[in-house]
Amino acid sequence: MAPVAIKICGLSTEATVAAAIAAGADLVGFVHFEKSPRHVSLDRGRVLSAQAKGLAERVVLLIDPDDTLVAAAVQALDPDWIQLHGRESPDRVAAIRAMTGRRVMKALGIATRADLAQVAAYAATADRLLLDAKPPPGADLPGGNGHAFDWDLLVGADLPATYMLSGGLTPDNVAEALARTGARAVDVSSGVETRPGEKSPERMAAFVAAVRI
């Protein structure tokens, strides 16, 4: 069986990109969303993505982007993946995938079992689903809030084998999350930070080590 895939998202400096890759991240994510403490401009994203090319799969995270932004992000970062973390519909996911020729990862917020009802429609158009904790009411950020959802909601659910588990994962709880869900891919951002937007090389290494025990 292939090892669990690890995505470290919200990288914003050359040093932390290097540290994430050195730790063993399979995917590295760059957030282009101005409200986020992890936001990088497209020019910064271009530099960081180029640094990671050939060393890890590169993901650009966008939220409800229009076609102009999608095209600009692809031109700047040349990503392997586009992660959509807003309210994009399945049709919009399919349109972005067709327009760019890039693989698309769609984040879905989960708080109750009813939230899993949307999985089938998105699984038909996205290359991968990222199951994240639904943000609390009034939150500025659709992800990266450091909250986990009840992993037991996924027990017995009809999920694509490639889904990625996200939301509140840390070096201390990721092994339990994997044991309870059977997920084969995980995504971390705030759980490897010392403060919002500031990645810790030590925490990133500890997270990868916890997954790869």
Q: Where are the domains of the chain?
A: 5-211
Q: What is the residue-averaged pLDDT of the chain?
A: 94
Q: State which CATH number among 3.20.20.70, 2.20.25.10, 3.20.20.140, 3.40.190.10 fits the domain covering 5-211.
A: 3.20.20.70
Given this model, what pLDDT does residue 140 score? Answer: 59
**pLDDT greater than 80 at residue 108:** yes
For the chain, percent of residues with pLDDT exceeding 90: 92
Give yes or no for a contact between 122 and 86, defined as CB atoms under 8 angstroms apart. no
Sign of CA dihedral 190, 196, 199, 205: negative
Given this model, what pLDDT does residue 136 score? Answer: 65
Given this model, what pLDDT does residue 139 score? Answer: 56
Give yes or no for a contact between 207 and 171, defined as CB atoms under 8 angstroms apart. yes
Given this model, what pLDDT does residue 1 score? Answer: 79
For the chain, percent of residues with pLDDT exceeding 70: 95
Given this model, what pLDDT does residue 134 score? Answer: 86
Average pLDDT over residues 79-91: 97
pTM above 0.75, yes or no: yes
pLDDT by residue (tens digit) across 112-155?
999 999 999 999 999 999 999 987 655 555 555 567 999 999 99
Given this model, what pLDDT does residue 199 score? Answer: 97
pLDDT by residue (tens digit) across 36-83?
999 999 999 999 999 999 999 999 999 999 999 999 999 999 999 999
